[in-house]
Amino acid sequence: MTTVQSIIISIVEGITEFIPISSTGHMIITEKVLGVTEDDFVKVFTIAIQLGAILAVVVLYWKKFFDFSRWQFYLKLVVGVIPALILGFLFSSRIDKLLESSLTVAISMLVGGIVLLFIDKLFMNSTIQNEQQVSYRRSFIIGIWQCLAMIPGVSRSAASIIGGMQQKLTRSAAAEFSFFLAVPTMLAATGYKLLKYIKENGAFTSGQIKVLAIGNLIAFIIAMVAIKFFISYLKKHGLKIWGVYRVAVGIILLILIFTGYINK
């Protein structure tokens, strides 16, 4: 992976991490289009730069993350991340194999897009306006929904937002809780992947550390802008536009795959 390739992939990550169109799916396709050779470091990079984007949440919502008097907030996030920790540990190798599949991404994009076309009308009786009203039970259930994103192309953001709406959160409250839940989820996922890589391949080279640092910085900056845009748009227009986008991208990917332009 070259520095230019890493920069492009990081920009894609920053834009797509919080919008319900699947950051992992977009990065997988971007890597294939750029001709990035798939190896252990590329797999780690794809996960690790998501941490940079996730840290944008901590900065934008720093009052919530650093108000230590509200200990229930942290406990709810711990409860919400438990399903992902368990399933991620049990199925890590299978998830890694799915990360190589463009066909999985295409199908997930298409199916997820169809769901988003109708999700606003499906959950219209929302009563929960903020995370303070979210119970531990609801946090856990939203965490289960989030696990669907272990399938490339599903979108962690979309899965947890839909889970939040199913649990009576408003669109904006579900989106913000999705952002909050992403922090411990991606911290755990990144930490696990980094430790696993070091155990199997040894320490990162100086060049790899440079690529990871640049990637995280770019993803962080771009994500700051993307979060503000997404929340503003979501309050006014809902999720349908992202469903249209996903369906279109899913169909295009299927055509490119079956015509041989992109490997399965």
Q: What is the per-residue pLDDT across 183-226, written as a single tens digit (0 to 9) for each?
A: 998 898 888 889 989 999 999 999 999 999 999 999 999 999 99
**CA dist., res. 161 & res. 184, Å (int):** 16
Please give the full DSSP string across 40-107, using - where no structure is assigned.
HHHHHHHHHHHHHHHHHHHHHTHHHHT-TT-HHHHHHHHHHHHHHHHHHHHTHHHHHHHTT-HHHHHH
Give the start-to-end residue ranges of the domains of the chain.
Answer: 3-258
Please give the full DSSP string across 17-42, using - where no structure is assigned.
TTTTT-HHHHHHHHHHHHTPPP-HHH
Give the other-Cβ count within 10 Å of 107's Cβ. 18
Return the C-alpha torsion angle 35, 38, 40, 44, nearest 10: 60
Secondary structure (3-state) at 162: helix
For residue range 18-60, what is the model confidence (pLDDT) as tens digits?
999 988 888 988 988 898 887 889 989 998 998 899 899 999 9
Q: What angle do CA 22, 26, 30 make, to 5 degrees?
A: 170
Can you give the pTM of this predicted structure? Answer: 0.88
**CA dist., res. 163 & res. 169, Å (int):** 9
